[in-house]
Amino acid sequence: MVRSATTPPLLAVMTVETSDWLRPATALTSTVVRPYGSSEYVREIGVAGLSQSDVSTVITANSGGVVAERTMFWGDQFYGGHTGKAIERTGTTWYLAEGAANGFFTTFILLANPGSTPATATVTFLLEPSGTVTKSYSVPANSRVTIYTNEVQDTSGGKPLNGKSFSTTVTSTAPIAVERSMYFTNSRTWNGGHEAAAVPAPRTNWYVAEGATGTFFTTFLLLANPNTSATTATIRYLLPGGQVVTRTQALAPQSRTTISVNTVVPNTDVSMEVSAPLPIIVERAMYWPGNNWSEAHASAGIAATGTTWGLAEGELGGSRGFQTYILIANPTASAASVRLRFLVENGTSFVSPTFTVPANSRVTRSAAEFMAAGQLTDGARFGVVVESMNSVPLAVEHAMYWNGGGEFWGGGSNETGVRIR
């Protein structure tokens, strides 16, 4: 958790209410006090009573503001992992573009109700290339409900999602929080996986900072059209040198569409800007290595560009060889002057020299650059604030990789930044 750069340099008191959703009556509270400019990690395993629990977490900042993310690792030597940022508030409508239920992928929709009022959630799955499946779920007060989509049955007892890719819409009678986690099996159980928090509303414009194609990475763009009318998405692929490749994609009513980015812009880092006349939902998923996938990460599209972004998660080196990258997309016609402010877990901070993100381009910065410069040490954990010094709006994500399970980059995760302004 990283204190926002816009708040004064005072102590931030963060109260972490961690409820054990397997035992809804249990509520555990941990209080962390850290100064402005620090990066602090709260590990669920370190909270008494949570060593063997599925959990959701409520974080309250009593003063100022924080940027919060959660990273989960699993398997022998952390051969898998994913990162998610905190949801700002609960709501009654939520949308997810990504999902698949088949012999390879296993998808869970996670519904958390932190309130005192029971909720009924109506969940509609938008199938690819067309069709819908709707189910209702009771979500008791102060509880978590997990939907195992591979086992969703229709009225005849069949499994209508089995073998399907889908997007998901959720409407609830009381405010809840929604995420999706997705795992796949290769040589090991749940060899890799990714997750993303739901977004509260469809939009006509989305931004994706992260993407890479070639022999190592495979990238997919997932588009959901929740409307009862067809629409057409326009995708601008922003390449590192400022080249723009533009394509259009028809979207059927109430459907999910998958675009293989590798076939559109091969062998490149890439960011994307997606627009449509009707509001839609956008996510991006990446898998590696090559055609023998062992890990993945995914995130929802960014709803709006901004001039200051916060990233809570970051790690460098150590026994698992962590590598962290900051991905910056500039979808505008003007070059941006950018700097990075690193907030290190040991309480130190430093600012990078300014650098240029050209118009209509994608730029990647590696944390390893700053270890080479002597500003980060091996094993450092940190957050980053990304600032556009000339007020050109940007979209920002980070990606983190580690040598999990004895494999080079056997594990990895990513998340979009938190827009500060």
Give the pLDDT of residue 188.
65
Give the pLDDT of residue 47.
61
User: CA 361, CA 381: separation in Å to the nearest integer?
Assistant: 28
Specify if 120 maps to a domain. no
pLDDT in tens, 189-220: 667 889 999 999 999 999 999 999 999 999 99
Tokens of residue 78, six digits = 């952390």
Domains of the chain: total:
2
**Does position 104 have pLDDT exceeding 70, yes or no?**
yes
**Does position 375 have pLDDT exceeding 80, yes or no?**
yes
Give the pLDDT of residue 53.
66
Tokens of residue 255, six digits = 């459907």
Specify if 222 maps to a domain. no
Give, as one character, the DSSP assignment of residue 81: E
Give the pLDDT of residue 166.
98
Residue 327 is part of a domain; what is its CATH number?
2.60.290.11
Single out the residue in 40, 67, 94 at which a domain terminates.
Answer: 67
Specify if 249 maps to a domain. no
Specify if 16 maps to a domain. yes
Specify if 63 maps to a domain. yes
Of 34-38, 271-275, 298-302, which gets the smallest average pLDDT?
34-38
Give the pLDDT of residue 122.
98
**Does position 157 have pLDDT exceeding 90, yes or no?**
no
Residue 46's domain spans which residues? 2-67
Of 27-31, 260-264, 283-287, 399-403, which gets the smallest average pLDDT?
27-31
Specify if 294 maps to a domain. no
Tokens of residue 284, six digits = 């991006």
Give the pLDDT of residue 83.
83
User: CA 335, CA 232: separation in Å to the nearest integer?
Assistant: 29
pLDDT in tens, 9-41: 222 222 233 333 333 334 444 444 444 344 444
The phi, psi pair for 154, rounded to 5°, reads -95, -175
Residue type, 332: T
Single out the residue in 67, 95, 114 at which a domain terminates.
Answer: 67
% of the chain exceeding 70 in pLDDT = 84
- Selected residue with higher pLDDT from 104 and 174: 174
Single out the residue in 67, 90, 123 at which a domain terminates.
Answer: 67
Specify if 6 maps to a domain. yes
Reported as type and span, the H/E element at residue 370 is: helix 368-372
Tokens of residue 399, six digits = 């990606």
Specify if 95 maps to a domain. no
